[in-house]
Amino acid sequence: MKLIYKLLKLLLNQRAVKEDNETLNIILNRKSCRRFSKKKVSKEILEKILLAGASTPSTVNLQTWSFFPFDYDEWYQKFGNPIPFGAQAAIIVCADLKRLEVIDPVFKKFPYCFYTLAVMNASLSAMNMTLAIEGFGLKSIMLSQTGRTGFMDYEYIKEKLSLPSLVFPLTTIAFGFPENELLFSPPKLDKEVIIHRDGKYTLREEETIAWLKDMDFACNLAEGEKITEKFKNYLKMLPKAEEELANAFKKISD
């Protein structure tokens, strides 16, 4: 009985939302895609997606980001393997403090603030591009570790793209046409867990544990691996990534 209830809940979670607001529909129905068709993404669309990234709001309009676009062949030439999940296009998004050296090197005295600022702005640009991708009827996935595509492989990407210090690769947006329109969406936390309506923080442990159990069930069903196991594997990658990032971070104040 419990199993049927869990399955039903998961299935209901996959329903498409239809609101009167098209932007909201795009946001609410977005799902990460892990299987793409071989259909190419045109250069025109890629340029418009990059324009969406460049139009993102940023702290003092500093635009602390840099984008590296690739089509399938360009990626293959650069990295010697296909874009993960068979995607036909990709954009590597970096947090970029290098340009600030030209404007005012004072930022080097405040590495925590400026690193956070750069990561925040660049992450917003990644989301703007993700939504633009959805607007074209394409699908995407942001990557930070799969296929050495994000900040977890800082040194590797830095070397491949010949990045100067102060430029931090964060994530790769891999995108294209989906192989199948039916995408799987993992359960989200109940929104009351993350919204603190009375202006006072409340940790909702019970609901958080309930979500973890739902995630375990969903991941096990979809990928044959529980979230708790996934997380353990993720943790194994962290010591190297932490060290690489710490070294890069130190260079801000050098």
CA distance 102 to 164: 14
Which window, 38-46, 93-101, 103-111, 138-146, contacts ligand FMN (CB under 6 A)? 138-146
Asked whether position 142 contacts ligand FMN by CB under 6 A, the answer is: yes
Q: Which of 133, 138, 143, 248 binds ligand FMN (CB under 6 A)?
A: 143
d(CA 173, CA 147): 12
Partners of residue 92 on adjacent β-strands: 68, 172
Taking the least distance from each CB to ligand FMN, the nearer of 45 and 170 is 170
Decide: 95 and 65 in contact? Cβ < 8 Å: yes
> Is residue 52 within the footprint of ligand FMN (CB under 6 A)?
no
Q: Is 145 in the site for ligand FMN (CB under 6 A)?
A: yes
Beta strands in the chain (DSSP E): 65-71, 89-96, 139-143, 167-176
Contact between 94 and ligand FMN per CB under 6 A:
no
Q: Which of 62, 141, 163, 248 binds ligand FMN (CB under 6 A)?
A: 141
**195 and 202 in contact (C-beta within 8 Å)?**
no
Torsion region of 212: left, alpha or beta (phi above 0 gives left; psi -120 to 50 gives alpha) = alpha
Residues 204-243 that bind ligand FMN (CB under 6 A): none
* 56 touching ligand FMN, by CB under 6 A: no
Tell me if 29 contacts ligand FMN by CB under 6 A.
no
- 25 vs 108, which CB is nearer to ligand FMN? 25
The site that binds ligand FMN (CB under 6 A) totals a number of residues, namely 11
- In 10 A of CB 179, how many CB atoms? 17
Q: Which of 25, 29, 37, 185 binds ligand FMN (CB under 6 A)?
A: 185
Q: How far is the CA of 103 from the CAs of 61, 99, 100, 107, in angstroms?
A: 12, 7, 5, 10
32: contact with ligand FMN by CB under 6 A: yes
Least Å distance, CB 172 to ligand FMN, is 8
For residues 56 and 108, which CB has a smaller minimum distance to ligand FMN in the complex?
56
Q: Which range in 72-80, 142-150, 158-166, 189-197 contacts ligand FMN by CB under 6 A? A: 142-150
Q: How many Cβ atoms sit within 10 Å of the Cβ of residue 197?
A: 7
Please count the other Cβ atoms lying within 10 Å of the Cβ belonging to residue 126. 22
Q: How far is CA 77 from CA 73, 83, 177, in A?
A: 6, 11, 22
- Which positions touch ligand FMN (CB under 6 A)? 31-32, 141-146, 171, 185-186
